[in-house]
Amino acid sequence: MVQRVSGLVSGIDTDALIQKMVQAAKAPVDKIWQQRKTVEWQRQALLDMNTKLYDFRNNKVFNFKLESNLGAKKVELRGYADAVSARAKGDAVPGTMSIKVKSLAKAASIQSDTVMTVKPGDKINVTEEITINGYKVQVNAEDTLKDVLAKITKETNVTAFYDEVAQKVALTSKETGKVNGNPDGSGKRTGDTITFSGTLFADVLKIEAGKQEQKAEDAQLEINGVETTRTSNTFTVNGIEVTLNQVSPKTADNNDYIATTLTTKTDTDKIVESIKAFINDYNEMLKTLQDKVSEKRFRDFPPLTEEQRKEMSDKEIELWEEKAKSGLLKNDTMLSQLISDMRLAMISPVDNGSKYNTISAIGIETGEYTENGKLYLKDEAKLRKAIEEDPQAIVDLFTANGNGDDDDSDVGIGERLYASLEQTMKSITQKVGTVATLHDDSLMGKQMRSLAERIDAGNRRVQQLEQRYYRQFTAMEQAIQRLNAQSAQLLSAFGGNGQ
Average predicted confidence (pLDDT) for the chain: 89
pLDDT tens by residue, 88-97 = 987 888 899 9
Region 190-217: what's the mean pLDDT?
96
pLDDT over 70 (residue 12): no
Q: Which domains, from first to last, does the chain contain?
A: 14-67+270-295+330-432 (no CATH), 73-105+219-266 (no CATH), 109-214 (3.30.70)
Query: Regarding predicted confidence, which is higher, 7 or 85?
Result: 85
Res 275: pLDDT: 95
Res 10: pLDDT: 61
pLDDT over 60 (residue 8): no
Q: What is the pTM of this model?
A: 0.71
pLDDT category, 497, cuts 50, 70, 90?
low
pLDDT tens by residue, 132-159 = 999 999 999 999 999 999 999 999 999 9
pLDDT tens by residue, 399-425 = 998 887 777 889 999 999 999 999 999
pLDDT category, 269, cuts 50, 70, 90?
very high
Q: SS3 for the chain, per residue?
A: CCCCCCCCCCCCCHHHHHHHHHHHHHHHHHHHHHHHHHHHHHHHHHHHHHHHHHHHHHHHHHHHCCHHHHCCEEEEEEECHHHEEEEECCCCCCEEEEEEEEECCECCEEECCCCCCCCCCCECCCCEEEEECCEEEEECCCCEHHHHHHHHHHHCCEEEEEECCCCEEEEEECCCCCCECCCCCCCCCCECCCCEECHHHHHCCCCCCCCCEECCECEEEEECCEEEEECCCEEEECCEEEEECCCCCECCCCCCECCEEEEEEECHHHHHHHHHHHHHHHHHHHHHHHHHHHCCCCCCCCCCCHHHHHCCCHHHHHHHHHHHCCCCCCCCHHHHHHHHHHHHHHHCCCCCCCCCCCCHHHCEEECCHHHCCCEEECCHHHHHHHHHHCHHHHHHHHHCCCCCCCCCCCCCHHHHHHHHHHHHHHHHHHHHCCCCCCCCCCHHHHHHHHHHHHHHHHHHHHHHHHHHHHHHHHHHHHHHHHHHHHHHHHHHHCCCCCC
pLDDT tens by residue, 64-85 = 988 778 888 999 999 999 999 9
